[in-house]
Structure 1
Amino acid sequence: MFSAIVVCRAIGHKYQILVAIGAISILAVKPAQADSLERIQDIIHPPTSAALLAQNGFTVVQVTGVQVNPTDKGIEVILQTLLGEQLQITNRSVANNFIVDIPNAQLRLASGDSTFRSEKPIAGIAEIAVTNFDANTIRVTVTGEAGIPVVELFDSPEEGLIFSVTSTVAATPSQPSTQDNDTIELVVTGEQDGYRVPNATTATRTDTPLRDIPGSIQVIPRRVLEDQKTTRLQDALENVSGVRKEGNYGGTSAGGYNIRGFAQDGNFRNGFSDNDFYSLVDPANIERIEVLKGPASVLFGQAEPGGIINVVTKQPLGTPYYSAEFNLGNYAFYRFSFDLSGPLTDHDLLLYRLNLAYQNSGSFRDYNFLERVFVAPVVTWNISDRTSLTFDLEYQNNNYLFDRGLPSLGDRPAPIPISRFIGLPHVYDDSTLRIGYRFEHEFSQDWQLRNAFSFVSGKSSGTYAYGGYELIDDQFAPIYVSRDEFTRDIYTLQTELVGRFNTGSIVHQPLIGVELRRNVWNYTSFDVADPILLDIFNPNYDVELPATPDESTFAYTTRRDTLGIYIQDQITFADNFKVLLGGRFDAFYRRDDFGTLEEESLTAFTPRVGIVYQPILPISLYASYTQSFQPDRFFGRSAATNEPFEPTEGTQYEVGIKADFSEQIAATLAAFEITKSNVLTPDPNDPDISIQVGEQRSRGIELDIGGEILPGWNIIASYTYTDAITSKDNNIPVGNRLINVPEHAASLWTTYELQSGDLKGLGFGLGLYYVGDRFADLENTSVLPSYFRTDSAVYYRQDNWRLALNFRNLFNETYYETSQGRNTIYPGAPFTVIGSFSIQF
């Protein structure tokens, strides 16, 4: 045995210290077996310590993810970081434990956990644990079952330096190693993050490997957003199976998303209900996007059964980091963004991050434009090695032209140029403010308390003249003039206790949470009664807008309060057999005032159960049963009973298989069926009132693949088959397809970067997107035709800068992205190019 110092300097987001190209491999763990690699030993260097590292100017590196991956030699433990810095390693042996200390690092997992554990990863190894030992040290502990793991050091020309841990069969624990003077030093370089993200937090609210989650969850990392030059959230989500845009409120990137056939009005942000149909999301502060398929009410409360989208934002870094980017494109598009981070005090007591963006752009749509200001500061106070407090704020203001797209004529979008504006030009204003905190405290390595608060406030106002109504004489669009004031506030308080304990050989990871949420909407409009008729074939925009009245013509206030209590247990019965159990009770209160005050109270219970079986390490077979609930958007009562309408309920059955083809690339294949019941439908005896007997059903198959095929060659691809129909209704014909849901859809985005030679750093990207026919309305009276769009990119990266050209809709395909009804259809942009230059310090 010997002590080792391993120093890794990397220019990207991951480090390769020991094995696995493009990743940080700290340990390679394997059971006892012969190996022909030559052992390296007898290299002498002085020992190290945290004090010595600090004296020599090393900074504390934040480790943001931990992976345990199988290799042909055993298992490797990979520590992921955000920035290229230095890592040092010292090791020793105590009892049955082989201990590695990294004295210039801290574990900052996206879930907020400060401990990672892997039980019995292979025969002979009881546990691998990665934890924060103190404020400046990560400790990696490998525990043998029958004795101390014996560590050997190998050198492989193909893989680099390998720590091989061999589990002994000795019944008597070994004594601590005394050979702490023998050391090894190695310097290697690493690569940037790839397209594969092995862990996620959205599905379980804990940092869990995707292969251990009994459900389909897809992650879009920051790297994909940067390679595609994403300026709208919906563009990034085109890479995920089963996700489509649902509406495009006012012609902006606001609106909802259709997941597995069901519309979800709002997104989530860091696990909180964040925005609704009317608010926009800017990509500048996004670290990654996690899409959880299927009902998510157990952890997230009221939601549609198709799934949720959770945006994970950027967090402060422990090392100075500065980046700037400038984008320039056609349609008068330009955008600046800055990302600044680092420590504010010595010893990383206070850390900060600041993201800024400004965007100004025209549009292929006549008269349309968007001007945006965005700022997002975050500060983390590391109170102690076990306690931290993070404050974040995000403010965004948008000025734009309110645009309701194009109408239908017959069973297709009207045959007019997709640039034509069906309305009268006027400026609309929208702003969003997000404020919150996150407090975390570790009672021990196994128990953690989390408390967090989020406040989101959206405000929209302005005068606008909008279409979206049925044509008159197949030629004239009624344009209504209105001035409105619309505010939306969401208050959320969450408290969670996360733990870990054993009952015999069974490992439990419980999560107990309480959530309080209040949504308040206030809407006032000042409407002009008579519409202006606009000829869609020969529009005249030189029309004076009538003055809006001083007195409001319509107003309402609604408040929704929810108390949710939820519990979850991730149970490991064996290394290859895991069970997830969960349930949530919600008490819901609503107070509406549409001129008459109405109140209602409801309760709901939603269960969740799933199993994962792994016949071999790279394969996970899973099955799950989940439910969801969603109260009616506005107050409603049954005319027959005078009782409040029950929430709609969603039930899903899902089976799937997950495959890790290698350490760099993985795939998920899922089959599902979702039934949404208690849907309102007209009473056949009185069409003017509604009853809750409607039902919608969606079933399908989804395939998602992401990762690195070869060094420098990345891919993210998907295929979706969805059969989403109205299965029961008194008005809509049974069998009608649900709005905006194609039966078939597929996507492919891939990049390749030259790895050597004079053109090293030159890269190319190609995107192919197919979307089948969809219906613009539930009545299936208007069809959005299928389309095949091609995107591409070329870039050159050297050291700390990157120059790129991104082309969207390369062949100028005419297509329609989404709709909010047969007369509110939003076309996709024709050929678009964005040039960008980014630099990091």
Structure 2
Amino acid sequence: MQASESTNAVLPSLRMPRHRMVGTAMGMALVNGAGLHAAWAQAAYGTAPLELPPVSVEGAQSGQNGYQTDMPALGKLTQPLVSTPESVIEVPRKLLDDEGVTTMRDALRNVPGVSLAAGEGAQQGDNLSIRGFNAQNDFYLDGVRDFGSYYRDPFNLQGIEVLEGPASVLFGRGSSGGAVNQVSKQPQIAPVTQGSLSFGTDGTKRFTADVNRAIDGVPGAAIRLNVMGDLNGTAGRDDAENRRFGFAPEIAFGLGTPTRVTLDYYHLQSDDTPDYGIPWLNGSPAPVSHNNFYGYPNNDYFRTNVDIGTAKIEHDFNDNITVSDQLRYGSYQRALRVTEPLILGQGPGQDVVTPGTPLSSIVVSRHTIALQSTETILDNQTNANVNVDTGPFHHAMVFGVELAHQTSDPTRPTYPYTLTSLTAPTDIAFNLTPISETFSRVHVDNIGAYAVDTIALNPYWDVMGGIRFDQFDSQFDETGSTVAHLKRDDGLPSYNAALVFKPVKTASIYARYGTSFDPSAESLSLSAATAAVAPEKTTTYEVGGKWDVLNKRLSLTGSVYQIQQANVRETDPNNPTQDILAGNYRIRGVQFGATGHLTDRWELFGGYSYNDAIVVASPNPAELGHAPPNAPKHTVTMFTSYRLPWHNVELGAGVNYVSARTASSIPVTGTTVIERAPGYVTLSLMAKVKLTETVSLQANIANATDTYYYDELHPGHIILGPSRSALFTINVKL
């Protein structure tokens, strides 16, 4: 890197041109945008401008060091994490590997404030809440919406980035509680050859391979391929089984030069025997055997095919201006027939039987949910990162325009119920014919324009402001057993503002304000009840601090916040066929985190989140004072590892705690009882031994105490957490 030769030279460590960081894990470059005037640096820190000869630097662009990450992966966040005025949790690849993580759900257990939920009727796959708000539609892949009801596998991810708090300025619609950005592996100049082979006591058989090579004879070009195959059961649930296969080829040109082009393709397919768990009974999980299965084991299925192609071009006009364009097409195909167990077939929230009724006499209805659909997205993002000085102030600006078109075409047959015993469900073949069928078609067009500016007033104070405007237009058509033609257009701004005080280089204190909006067709669905309803709006106020200690090897974070959704969609009490904006959800919380090295051998990744979520207004008085669905007050996540001084042995342990949660804020029909599941604590263990420079053996034990716990909640059913299981892995890295 070369220091600037102008009189306004900046600290090289803060404004190093990223296109000179070749062989990076991301393989792409963005202008850093975190510079300070050298004169300020000299006055504040006693640092004179540096003049360094040009050098070639190879390493991880994100600044990742074990469990610790110092730069956000999302290019719209221009500052180091310690100076970013927002709660951003980076889950690195090393942590995923140490924990033996094979699903997105397990990866997200590392994030305080995240609570997993079960799939909805027409939306299966990964489902979660962030700070008490549903975030199933808030998944992104390298900054572009990853809208698909499927179960994600982290085989092609370098890390996972969770932004907590409303973030529509960065992403557009949604993100009431936050968003999940998946950071994919990218081609790099440095060679990579690694793979793993795993076997587990729950029937797991898994392999992964990751190969990267520079292309001979083409300077700055590299190609990378990641492959995964997985077959696994669920410990303690004999009938559930998951089968996945995926591959991701990627090629890049111009690495280490001002102009870079990256082409990548991602494919993931699955063929699962799904598990919808156990039913509710009088507002509590039914007290049944862990292995009870209420579906059709040989006939239930959930099949998905995900294909995503992306082309990205970036150009550095100079050290201060980078423009990029990213074009993506994604296709998400799914076909499913799953069985939801409902007491007496009365439907979600109606699980009432006479107290004292013998469990053996209670009947469960098998509610068949079936669907076949293809969702597509065509998205183009043009983005400019600009660093400029105006008088005494430095600006790190991001401008952009996003154009997106999404479609969905679900076909939904309706099947009759069959009955079985609550305590001893029987296995029967599926031989039902549909009662009726509906065909839907949804089109959504979104145009978004945004601008974010971080202004360095001096070495101690930054001001950040952002605005985005989205025009979100949707059209819904349905034929079959019902007929509908609906249309809704919404245009809304989103805002973000923050003030940051940096008393020293390694610490910051910030105050932040942000907004988000959720239109009726956010999940690519519209109904007569919602078509006339304006978007829900969410605001957040957050005050926090960040501090890198122990010579910047350990990052500490803390924040207090309030999130309020003041116009929640609720059923009109005067017209049950219509929704109105009449609800009010409020969440007040505190969050702490610690990530990095305690010593050279001892690493830590963990955090605690407290969320006091409550319904403060509703047209249904029975809701008042209750928590919104899937909003636990307490979540604790902790994983730590230690390298022993002999025999290349590393040991690790993790704890995950989730307090009691409700499945709905509406009482069970005819009662004042809220469906509530108790909290739980699970323990995980890890041991790793390095046999040679290229081969290591690893053992992971999940739920080491064999806790019976309720993992994912829905008003109609509960998915149980897996029993104790062990995973044994051979890792090879050449």
TM bracket (short chain): 0.7 to 0.9
Deviation for aligned residue 1:465 = 4.1
> In the alignment, what sits opposite 2:624?
734
Deviation for aligned residue 1:207 = 4.5
Deviation for aligned residue 1:388 = 1.1
- For 1:285 and 1:349, the matched residues in 2 are separated by 22
Q: State how 1:190-339 maps to structure 2 within 5 Å.
A: 193-202=65-74, 205-248=76-119, 254-266=125-137, 267-276=139-148, 278-339=149-210
1:750 alignment partner, one of 617, 637, 640: 640
- For 2:34 and 2:657, the matched residues in 1 are separated by 41
The letter of the residue matching 1:275 is F
> In the alignment, what sits opposite 2:278?
406
String of CA shifts for 1:489-533, please: whole Å, max 9, x gaps: 1221100111111111100111110001112111112332x2101
Do the aligned residues in 1 keep the contact of 2:22 with 2:256 (CA within 8 Å)?
no
- For 2:123 and 2:194, the matched residues in 1 are separated by 27
The letter of the residue matching 1:718 is G
String of CA shifts for 1:766-815, please: whole Å, max 9, x gaps: 11122111112222522211111111111112422221110111110111
- For 2:364 and 2:219, the matched residues in 1 are separated by 61
Residue 675 and residue 318 in structure 1: after superposition, are their counterparts in 2 closer, same or farther (change >3 A)? Answer: same
> In the alignment, what sits opposite 1:504?
391
- Tell me the TM-score normalised to structure 2 length: 0.88
Q: Which runs of 5+ in 2 are unaligned?
A: 4-9, 55-62, 354-358, 668-673
> In the alignment, what sits opposite 1:576?
460
Do the aligned residues in 1 keep the contact of 2:22 with 2:188 (CA within 8 Å)?
no
Q: State how 1:554-573 maps to structure 2 within 5 Å.
A: 554-573=438-457
Residue 619 of structure 1 pairs with residue 507 of structure 2: yes
Paired residue total: 688
Residue 666 of structure 1 pairs with residue 555 of structure 2: yes
Do the aligned residues in 1 keep the contact of 2:687 with 2:698 (CA within 8 Å)?
yes
Residue 238 and residue 504 in structure 1: after superposition, are their counterparts in 2 closer, same or farther (change >3 A)? Answer: same
Do the aligned residues in 2 keep the contact of 1:423 with 1:534 (CA within 8 Å)?
no
> In the alignment, what sits opposite 1:826?
719
Residue 714 of structure 1 pairs with residue 613 of structure 2: no
Deviation for aligned residue 1:125 = 4.5
> In the alignment, what sits opposite 1:608?
496
> In the alignment, what sits opposite 1:156?
none
Deviation for aligned residue 1:256 = 1.9
Query: Rg larger in 1 or in 2?
Result: 1
- For 2:26 and 2:187, the matched residues in 1 are separated by 12
> In the alignment, what sits opposite 1:18?
none
- For 1:322 and 1:713, the matched residues in 2 are separated by 27
Residue 809 of structure 1 pairs with residue 703 of structure 2: yes
Do the aligned residues in 2 keep the contact of 1:248 with 1:826 (CA within 8 Å)?
no
Do the aligned residues in 1 keep the contact of 2:26 with 2:188 (CA within 8 Å)?
no
The letter of the residue matching 2:328 is S
Q: Which runs of 5+ in 1 are unaligned?
A: 1-25, 29-67, 69-74, 80-98, 129-141, 152-176, 181-190
> In the alignment, what sits opposite 1:700?
589
String of CA shifts for 1:55-92, please: whole Å, max 9, x gaps: xxxxxxxxxxxxx9xxxxxx99599xxxxxxxxxxxxx
1:521 alignment partner, one of 408, 421, 436: 408
Deviation for aligned residue 1:456 = 1.8
Deviation for aligned residue 1:418 = 2.1
String of CA shifts for 1:423-462, please: whole Å, max 9, x gaps: 2122331111111111101112211111001222111114
The letter of the residue matching 1:607 is Y
Deviation for aligned residue 1:383 = 8.1
Deviation for aligned residue 1:579 = 1.1
> In the alignment, what sits opposite 2:227?
356
Deviation for aligned residue 1:618 = 2.7
Residue 541 and residue 120 in structure 1: after superposition, are their counterparts in 2 closer, same or farther (change >3 A)? Answer: same
> In the alignment, what sits opposite 1:118?
35
Residue 373 of structure 1 pairs with residue 266 of structure 2: no
> In the alignment, what sits opposite 2:423?
537
- For 1:708 and 1:341, the matched residues in 2 are separated by 29
- Tell me the TM-score normalised to structure 1 length: 0.77
The letter of the residue matching 1:635 is L
Residue 632 of structure 1 pairs with residue 523 of structure 2: no
Query: Counterpart of 2:457 in 1: which secondary structure?
Result: strand
Query: Counterpart of 2:534 in 1: which secondary structure?
Result: coil
Do the aligned residues in 2 keep the contact of 1:636 with 1:645 (CA within 8 Å)?
no
Query: Counterpart of 1:299 in 2: which secondary structure?
Result: helix
- Name the stretch that deviates more: 577-586 or 725-734: 725-734
Residue 345 and residue 736 in structure 1: after superposition, are their counterparts in 2 closer, same or farther (change >3 A)? Answer: same
Residue 803 and residue 687 in structure 1: after superposition, are their counterparts in 2 closer, same or farther (change >3 A)? Answer: same
- For 1:556 and 1:712, the matched residues in 2 are separated by 56
* Identical counterparts, % of pairs: 25
> In the alignment, what sits opposite 2:484?
596
- For 1:346 and 1:331, the matched residues in 2 are separated by 47
Do the aligned residues in 2 keep the contact of 1:220 with 1:289 (CA within 8 Å)?
yes
- For 1:229 and 1:111, the matched residues in 2 are separated by 28
- Name the stretch that deviates more: 591-600 or 324-333: 591-600
Do the aligned residues in 1 keep the contact of 2:189 with 2:221 (CA within 8 Å)?
no
Do the aligned residues in 1 keep the contact of 2:189 with 2:255 (CA within 8 Å)?
no
The letter of the residue matching 1:657 is G
Residue 770 and residue 345 in structure 1: after superposition, are their counterparts in 2 closer, same or farther (change >3 A)? Answer: same
Deviation for aligned residue 1:464 = 4.2
String of CA shifts for 1:365-408, please: whole Å, max 9, x gaps: 23111111110111112188211110111111101113221111
